[in-house]
Structure 1
Amino acid sequence: MKRRGTIVMLAVIVILTIAGIWYIVVKDMEDPVTYETETAEMQTIVKETVATGSIVPKEEVNIKPNISGVIEKIHVQAGDYVDAGDLIADIKVVPNVSSLTSAKNSIAAQRTAVQTAKLALDNQTAIYNRQKELFDKGVISANDFDLAQNNFNNAQQRYRQEQVSLSGASQNYDIIRTGTTAGLGEYANTNVRATVSGMILDVPVKEGNQVIESNNFNEGTSIALLADINKMIFEGKVDESEVGKIKEGLPLEITVGAYDNRKFNATLDYIAPKGVAENGAIQFAIKGTLEPSENNSFIRAGLSANASIILDKATDVLAIKEALVQYDPETKKPFVEVETGDQQFERRDVVLGLSNGIFVEVKEGLSKTDKIKVWNALKAPAATGNYGG
Structure 2
Amino acid sequence: MKTIAQFTSVATVAILLLFSSCSNKQQGANPMMGGQVAEYLIQELKPQNITLYQAFPATLEGEQTVEIRPRVAGYIEKIFVDEGDYVKKGQLLFQINANDIRAQVRSAEAQIKVAESQVATAKIELEKTEPLVEKNIVSEFQLESVKTNLQAAEAQLAQAQANLANAKANLEYTMISSPTDGYIGTFPYRVGSLVSSSVAQPLTTVSNTSTMRAYFSINEKAFLQLTKNLEGATTGEKLANLPEVDLILPDQSVYAQKGKIEIASGVIDPQTGAINMRASFPNAEGNLRSGGSGNIRLPNYMEDVLLVPQPASYEIQGKHFVYVTNSENKVVNTEIQIVAGDLKDVFVVTSGLKAGDKIVVEGITTLRDGMQIKPKLAGQAVANSNQPSNN
Q: Distance in 2 between matches of 1:229 and 1:11?
A: 96
Question: 2:360 & 2:111 partners in 1: Cα distance?
Answer: 105
1:88 alignment partner, SS class: strand
1:108–1:50 Cα change, 3 Å: closer
1:207 is matched with which residue: 191, 195, 207?
A: 191
Match of 1:299? 288
Post-superposition offset of 1:211: 2.0
> CA 1:67 to 1:38, structure 2 compared with 1: closer, same or farther past 3 Å?
same
1:84-142 Cα distance to aligned partner (Å, 9 max, x none): 3322211225969xxx99x98x99999988887787778x49x949x99xx9xxxx976
Aligned mates of 1:151, 1:306 — CA distance in 2: 78
Residues 77-156 of structure 1 correspond to what in structure 2 (within 5 A)? 77-92=82-97, 124=125, 128=128
Alignment of 1:134-213 (within 5 A): 171=164, 180-181=167-168, 188-213=172-197
Partners of 2:244 and 2:261 within 8 A in 1: yes
After superposition, the Cα gap between the structure-2 partners of 1:273 and 1:246, relative to the gap in structure 1 and judged at 3 Å, is: farther
**Among residues 252, 255, 259, which one is paired with 2:247 in the alignment?**
255
Separation (CA, whole Å) in 2 of partners of 1:59 and 1:238: 24
Residue 262 of structure 1 and its aligned partner are, at CA, apart by 0.4
CA distance in 1, matches of 2:201, 2:100: 17
What RMSD over aligned residues (CA atoms) do the two structures have, in Å?
Answer: 5.8
Find the partner of 2:307 among 320, 331, 338.
Answer: 320
Shift of 1:78: 3.4
Task: For structure 1, list consecutive stretches of 5 or more residues without a partner in the other structure.
Answer: 327-333, 380-389
Shift of 1:60: 1.9
**Structure 1-normalised TM-score?**
0.57
Instruction: Please point out which of 15, 33, 40 is paired with 1:35.
Output: 40
Per the alignment, residue 232 of structure 1 pairs with: 212
Rounded Cα–Cα distance in structure 1 between residues aligned with 2:33 and 2:48: 43
1:326-345 map, 5 Å: 337=325, 345=329
3-state SS of 1:188 partner = helix
Distance 1:303 1:119 in 2: 67
The alignment status of 1:266 with 2:260, answered yes or no, reads: yes
Matched, 1:65 2:70: yes
SS of 1:229's equivalent in the other structure is strand
Helix, strand or coil: the match of 1:289? strand
Change (3 A) 1:322 1:191: same
- Change in 2 beyond 3 A, CA 1:194/1:259: same
Kept in 1: contact 2:188–2:203 (CA 8 A): yes
Return the offset for 1:222: 0.8
Q: Give the deviation of 1:265 after TM superposition.
A: 3.0
User: Aligned pair in 2 of structure 1 residues 209, 276: CA closer, same or farther (>3 Å)?
Assistant: farther
Relative to structure 1, is the Cα distance of residues 36 and 191 closer, same or farther in structure 2, using a 3 angstrom cutoff? same
Looking at structure 1, the residues matched to 185 and 51 of structure 2 have their Cα atoms a distance apart, in angstroms, of 37
Q: 1:258 to 1:238 in 2, by over 3 A?
A: same
- CA distance in 1: counterparts of 2:188 and 2:52, whole angstroms: 44
Q: Which amino acid in 2 is paired with 1:207?
A: V
Alignment partners' CA distance in 2, 1:31 and 1:242: 49
Once residues 314 and 244 of structure 1 are traced to their aligned partners in structure 2, the CA distance between those partners, rounded to angstroms, is 15
Aligned to 1:45: 50
- Compared CA separation, residues 109 and 88, structure 1 to 2 (3 A): closer
CA radius of gyration, larger in: 1
What is the distance in 2 between the residues matched to 1:59 and 1:245?
32
Distance 2:71 2:195 in 1: 10
Alpha-carbon shift at residue 201 of structure 1 (Å)? 3.7
**Aligned pairs, how many?**
323
Shift of 1:269: 1.4
Amino acid at match of 2:176: V
Query: What displacement does 1:20 show?
Result: 8.7
Contact kept, 8 Å, 1:67 with 1:93, in 2: the verdict is no
Give the 3-state SS of the residue equivalent to 2:282 in structure 1: coil
| Equivalent position to 1:222, from 202, 210, 226 | 202
Structure 1 residues 276, 72: closer, same or farther in 2, change over 3 A? farther
Query: Is the CA contact 1:68–1:94 (under 8 Å) kept in the aligned structure 2?
Result: no
| TM-score, normalised relative to structure 2 | 0.57
> Letter of the aligned partner of 1:59 in structure 2?
Q
| Deviation by residue 1:189-234 (Cα, 9 ceiling, x = unmatched) | 2122222333324444322223231xxxx57541222222122222
